[in-house]
Structure 1
Amino acid sequence: MTAFACPGVQGAGLGLRRSLLTEIIENPQPCADFLEIAPENWINVGGRFGRQFRALTERYRFACHGLSLNLGGLAPLNRRLLSDLKRFLDQHQISVYSEHLSACADEGQLYDLMPVPFSDSNVRRIAKRIRQVEEALERPLIIENVSAYACLPGEMDEPAFINAVLHEADCQLLLDVNNVLVNSVNFATDAEEFIRAMPSERIAYMHVAGHFDAEPELKIDSHGAPVIDRVWQLLQLAYAEHGVRATLLERDFNFPPLAELCAEVAQIRRFQGAAVTPQSLRA
């Protein structure tokens, strides 16, 4: 099967949270091909947690998925954060680093991922910031489509905006399939059209997760529940349209036994193995 691989990670992955550390370390058979962390939660961590993390980096491939870079914000990029990130990525030999296509800070940290206006001026401004991050980290930056609960004024729709940023910055995409579904419900858009509109050649890897139904027409990207059937269906569509990519399961709280998370990771593998090569990639 033809597929575009992210060089640093392959197969089916699991988001690593401190609550899972002991179980994952003690599990004799790794259930995931790679692990992903938010580096902000691990930079300068020592002691028992630091030793456990170091032990895992010797067993697994890792990806980093940032939370506070503030690509879409107006405040200057945090140079101290970039310096800390580079040192951490170098120390643990992690080549895969992604961040959210959102704003999360102004004069202080907002501790949330806020939407940005889908405008041509923002395309150019954010692409410039992406290039600055790549220069500072000496690594490619992968950007993720985000879930949102408000839509700010702009002349583009979300797929067009994402495509424009990817092209202008010449970077790759972390396609979060759950976020696609969440936004399709919250803004009455077509999730399948969104996935088809993404550029195959720029998709590095993918995310799936669970969410919370706050209202019939409002989904919250909680990462606190199992992946639902509709997200699995959209993941299969993404594979059919773009080819199989490394795909990670996110879970942030309400943790079930590790065996249940491993079963969801195994579901990713089954879909990867059963995927049909997309028409555009056939000889």
Structure 2
Amino acid sequence: MTNYRSAGACRAGLGLRRAFLPEVLANPPSQVDFYEVAPENWMTIGGKLGKQFRAVTERHEVVCHGLSLSIGSCDPLDEAFVYQLKAFMAEHGIRFYSEHLSYCSHKGHLYDLMPIPFTEEAVTHVAARIRRVQDILEHKIAMENVSYYATPGQEMSEIDFFNAVVAEADCNVLIDINNIYVNSVNHAYDALAYLRAIPGERIAYAHVAGHYVEAEDFLVDTHGAPVIDPVWRMLEIAYQEFGVFPTLLERDFNLPPLSELLQEVDTIRSLQRQAEPADLIFA
């Protein structure tokens, strides 16, 4: 599959967390069309959790969203990990993989997602590594626009860097709506102009999430709160601009009851239904 979106656009997803794994298996939520997992959290899990995960992948559609590929690092690409990932995806029938356009290693793991310098040299470096990953996996992957709090060595805008990477790598896009909003506040740019500059034909699926307000001009991308209205509005505009695409709710901590998360999944589905009749890309 070259683009996850080709499997069906009007779908809503949820990040799978161990806290509600038993509930998902006992009472599968009808609102959720697919689940997303970090493969690093499941590739070596056995025992009861491993069996539960297998039950999920046997009954539900699952996609992988990686944490440790470190695509922007100057360390050698961890090809052993990519081959392990390929085997894991094949074992569980998982057809799609995405990662963050960032890096998290430098002669060892950094345990955080660091910003890649927005330079032409970095575009060439990162795009080559993405192409190599795609060659190993034998399908296109999607890169996510990430939140960042510093711009070391910046020579070009964030959106120009992002678009240059995905064009040179010929990969897909995981568009994170909340990250666009957070970055637009922290770095004082026009969020809608950024959104409209995304190559819509490359969008595989999207993330929406909540964040923490540290100050009026400083937001922290935590995935630990409900999605706010301006982010929902941006998602609605994205559907108007590019047509409907699969969209997933991320929530990593401060987990409420599953029923509360499903209300936000319902909001995704509602926005998709409202936009679905206009199944065209608007200028």
TM-score of the superposed pair, with normalisation by structure 1: 0.95
Q: Percent identity?
A: 52
- 1:6 match: secondary structure: helix
Q: 2:149 — aligned with what?
A: 149
Task: Give the drift of 1:6.
Answer: 1.7
Q: 2:13 — aligned with what?
A: 13
Comparing 126-135 and 6-15, the one that deviates more: 6-15
Q: Distance in 2 between matches of 1:76 and 1:24?
A: 38
Task: Give the conservation status (yes or no) of the 8 Å contact 2:36–2:62.
Answer: yes
Q: 2:137 — aligned with what?
A: 137
- Read off the aligned partner of 1:126 and give its amino acid letter: V
Task: Give the drift of 1:245.
Answer: 0.3
Q: Distance in 2 between matches of 1:54 and 1:85?
A: 15
Q: Distance in 1 between matches of 2:217 and 2:35?
A: 32
Q: 2:72 — aligned with what?
A: 72
Residue 196 of structure 2 is aligned to residue 205 of structure 1: no
Task: Give the conservation status (yes or no) of the 8 Å contact 2:240–2:281.
Answer: no
RMSD: 1.6
Q: 1:245 — aligned with what?
A: 245
- Read off the aligned partner of 2:63 and give its amino acid letter: A
Task: Give the conservation status (yes or no) of the 8 Å contact 1:70–1:104.
Answer: yes
C-alpha distance after superposition, 1:156-198 (max 9, x if no partner): 1011111111110111100000000110011011111110010
Cα 1:9–1:225 change in 2 (3 A) is farther
Q: 2:216 — aligned with what?
A: 216
Task: Give the conservation status (yes or no) of the 8 Å contact 1:9–1:61.
Answer: no
Give the total of aligned pairs.
279
Q: 1:97 — aligned with what?
A: 97
Q: 1:44 — aligned with what?
A: 44
After the TM superposition, list the runs of 4 or more consecutive aligned residues in structure 1 that deviate by more than 6 angstroms: none
C-alpha distance after superposition, 1:77-109 (max 9, x if no partner): 112211211110110111110000001101111
Task: Give the drift of 1:280.
Answer: 4.0
- Read off the aligned partner of 2:44 and give its amino acid letter: N
Structure 1: unaligned runs, 5 residues or longer: none
Structure 2: unaligned runs, 5 residues or longer: none
Task: Give the conservation status (yes or no) of the 8 Å contact 2:64–2:96.
Answer: yes
Cα 1:77–1:43 change in 2 (3 A) is same
Cα 1:92–1:120 change in 2 (3 A) is same
**Matching of residues 51-200 of structure 1 within 5 Å:** 51-200=51-200
Task: Give the conservation status (yes or no) of the 8 Å contact 1:223–1:253.
Answer: yes
Task: Give the conservation status (yes or no) of the 8 Å contact 1:64–1:94.
Answer: yes
Comparing 146-155 and 169-178, the one that deviates more: 146-155
Task: Give the conservation status (yes or no) of the 8 Å contact 2:240–2:282.
Answer: no
- Read off the aligned partner of 1:46 and give its amino acid letter: G
Task: Give the drift of 1:140.
Answer: 1.3
C-alpha distance after superposition, 1:214-269 (max 9, x if no partner): 12211111011110001101100111111110000000011111111111001000
TM-score of the superposed pair, with normalisation by structure 2: 0.95
Comparing 4-13 and 125-134, the one that deviates more: 4-13
Cα 1:232–1:74 change in 2 (3 A) is same
Task: Give the drift of 1:154.
Answer: 2.3
